[in-house]
Structure 1
C-alpha cells in the first residue's frame, strides 16, 4: 500500500535528513494519555470536542500506515505547481509527539504531532510534476484509470496524509521512475536541494530524537461511548488501527494474509461523499472489497436506500474494471449503535434489498 504525505520547500529537507513523515493539527491530543480528559467549550481552555474530532481524523489517516508501506512526498510548489518525490517506505508504526516541545518544529516552522519513521525504498532525485501525474491523459482508456484519490484530495484539500490505490501507486511511481530514466540514487542518507529542486545524497542521516508516544485510540473511544458523546471518528480510527487484529479481522471477515489495502474517508464523488473505511483482500484469482459504514447512533433506512448503493456503484464503476480476470466480491458492512430486536430485524430485512 502507498501513502502520500504533503510537505513544503522548508520542511522537506528535515523529513529527508531525519527520515520521518508526518501530519498533524495546531491542537494537541492530551486525551491519548488522559483518557478521561474533559473537553472545554473554548480553545483557550484546552481541546474542545470539535478540535478533538479533527485531530482524531488525522490519527485515523496516519494509523493506516503499516510497516513497509510505500511513502511518496508531495512537495507543494509556488502557484500550485507541486511535484511528487519518492520512493520511501514506513519503518515501524505511527506515533504521537506533542506540540509542546514538538521535535524540529522550530526548524520546520510548523508542528507535526503525528509522525512515522521512514527508510529508503527506491529514491529518485527528480520529482514528477502534478501536471504529468494527474492531468495528462496519455494511456488513459477509461475513467477508472485516472488517479482519483489525489484528484479528490486536491479538490477537497485539508489532508496531509492521503492513501492511494495500488493501481494509482503503480502508475505514479512509474512516472517518477520515467522522470529519472530509472536511475536510483545511491546511498541511504538524503536531503532536498531547493535551488536544484531535487533530492540529493548526503554523507549520513541525522539522528531522530523526538518522542514516540502511542496513538492508540481504544481507551478514549470507550470513554466517549460510555459518556454518550459522539464517537464516530474515534470508531473509525479504532477500526483502522485494529482491523487486521483479532477479534476485528474475524468480525469484518478479513483474512490477514490476503489484506492488501486499507482506506478511510475514501472519496467517491466530486461532492462530499466518503466511505468511512474500505478494505481490499486480493490473491491471484479473486478480490474482496469491504465497504464499511460506521455510525455512533442506531442504524436507519437511508444507509441502505441511499448511502451504500452510492458507494457500491462507485466501486463497481471505478475500481472493479481494474481487476481484469479476477472474481470480485463486494461486502457492505454496517457497524452501528445497538438497537432493539424489532429495529434490527427491520434493518436486516431492508438490507436484503441491496443489489451488488
Structure 2
C-alpha cells in the first residue's frame, strides 16, 4: 500500500471534500502524460493526503475504484464535470475517495518538513525527502510517498489534533475540516465511466512516456512487464513513484518501485538503444542515495530498459542497426555501433559492482520489442 499527496488550492479543496474525489491535470490540456503516469500509480485502498497550497496537509482518505477521464467526455458538461465549482481548474484524470482517518486540523509544511522539533530523533533519516525533492519540481500535482514517510507524517498529523467522524462528505472553512454528511451531494456516477487509456492504447509504445504509463498502470498484473519486475523473486509491487528526484542536483529516475519483499527496483527507460556515461552516473547516484536514505530496503535492483535496436539495415552505408546486411545476420556479425553499446553496458555492469554501494545488486538491462503497430510484445535480458 502506498500514500499519495495531492496538491490543491482552497477553492478546489472544498469541492474535493464535498464530492469526495481527487484529480490532476494541467489547465487547458486534454492530455498530459506526466499527470496520467502519476495518478495511475494509485491503487484502490491507497492512502490519500491533500496538500492545500499556503495552508498545509490534511488527511487521511482512501482511494476508491479506478482512475477515470474527464475532458469533454460527458454530455452537458463542458469541458468537465464540476468545472464552474472548480473555478475552471482542469482536472483531467480523477479518482473517487472515501474517509479513513480524517483529522480536523492541518499540519503545516514547516512542521512536516523543517521544524527540528517535529523531526523524529532529530535525524536526517526521518525527514520527508520525497516532498522536499518534489519542491524542486513544483509543477507536479500528485506525489507518492513510501510507508516510512507516511508513518512519520501520521505521527505529526495526530499531534494535538482531533479525528472526526467518517461521513459522506466534508466541509472546509478557515483551515478546519467539518463533517458535512450530506448524502444528497454525490459525485455523478455517470461521469466516472471514461477510461484514460484503453488496454490497446496502454500497450502501444510510441514514446518513452508510454512505457512509464504502462508500468504505473499495470505493474503486478501484466505478463510481459513481469519479465522485468520478476515478482516470483522480487515480490509484488506495493509502491510506485513516477519520475522521482533525489538530491538537490535534481537527479532523476523514471520509476522507483517498492515490493512486499522490501526490495527497491530503480528503473530507467529509454525509447531507443543507447548507453553513455550520463545514464551510468544517473543509475549509480540514485542507487547510492536510496542506499543511504531508504534503510527499509533489503536490496536495491537497478534496471535499465532500452528499445531493441533496429535489426537489419535496408541499404548500404547505414550505421545504427544491429546487422548491416542480411548476410551479417545469417552469420551473426553485429555492427560496430551495436558492439560499442553492448561493450559499454557490460563494462558498466562491472564498474557499478565495483562501486561497492551497499545493497545495490548487479545492473539488469532489458531490451523491449514492439510489433508493426508499436504494441509491446516482449522483453529480453541482455
TM-score normalised by the chain length of structure 2: 0.76
The Cα offsets for residues 197-222 of structure 1, whole Å up to 9 and x where unpaired, read as 21111232422112431123764466
Contact 2:239–2:257 (Cα < 8 Å) also in 1: yes
C-alpha distance after superposition, 1:75-98 (max 9, x if no partner):
112xxxx21000000001211101
Q: Distance in 2 between matches of 1:267 and 1:70?
A: 21
Alignment of 1:64-143 (within 5 A): 64-77=41-54, 82-98=55-71, 100-109=78-87, 110-138=89-117, 139-143=120-124
CA contact (8 A) 1:217 1:237 kept: no
Tell me the CA shift for residue 111 of structure 1.
1.8
Which residue number corresponds to residue 308 of structure 2? Answer: 338
**Aligned partners of 1:132, 1:144: CA distance in 2, in Å?**
16
Whole-angstrom CA distance in 1 between matches of 2:201 and 2:35: 15
| In 1, Cα distance between equivalents of 2:198 and 2:210 | 7
Q: Counterpart of 1:302?
A: 277
TM-aligned CA deviation for residue 348 of structure 1: 4.3
Residue by residue over 1:302-332, the C-alpha shift from the partner in whole angstroms, topping out at 9 and shown as x without a partner, is: 2553111111111111112xx2xx7x11111
The answer for the alignment partner of 1:179 in structure 2 is 160
Query: Where does 1:254-269 land on structure 2 (aligned, <5 Å)?
Result: 254-255=231-232, 258-269=236-247
CA deviation after TM superposition for structure 1 residue 113, in Å: 1.0
CA deviations over 1:251-300 (Å, ceiling 9, x no partner):
222359643211111111112211111111134xxx21111010011121
* Candidates 207, 215, 220, aligned match of 1:244: 220
C-alpha RMSD over aligned residues: 2.2
SS of equivalent residue, structure 2 residue 23: strand
Give the aligned partner of residue 189 of structure 1.
168
Q: Are 1:169 and 2:146 an aligned pair?
A: no
C-alpha distance in 1, partners of 2:124/2:255?
23
Identify the residue that residue 25 of structure 1 maps to in structure 2.
26
State the partner residue of 2:209: 233
Corresponding residue of 1:46:
none
> Following the alignment from structure 1 to structure 2, what is the Cα–Cα distance between the partners of residues 92 and 158?
26
Which residue of the partner structure matches residue 41 of structure 1? none
Label 1:236 to 1:202 Cα distance change in 2 as closer, same or farther (>3 A).
same
- Mapped to 2, the partners of 1:75 and 1:104 lie a distance apart of 19
Provide the residue aligned with 1:145 in structure 2. 126
* Partner residue, 1:292: 267
- Partners of 2:67 and 2:203 in 1: how far apart? 21
- The TM-score, its normalising length taken from structure 1, stands at 0.81
Structure with higher RCO (Cα < 8 A, 6+ apart): 1
Name the CA shift for 1:219/1:258 in 2 (closer, same or farther; >3 Å): closer
Q: Which runs of 5+ in 1 are unaligned?
A: 30-51, 226-230
**Contact 2:28 2:90 (C-alpha < 8 Å) held by counterparts:** no
| 1: CA distance, partners of 2:197 / 2:278 | 28
Measured in 1, the distance between the counterparts of 2:15 and 2:103 equals 17
Unaligned runs of 5+ in 2: 73-77, 310-321, 323-333, 354-359, 361-382
Compute the displacement of 1:8 (Å).
Answer: 1.3
Match of 1:311 among 286, 306, 311: 286
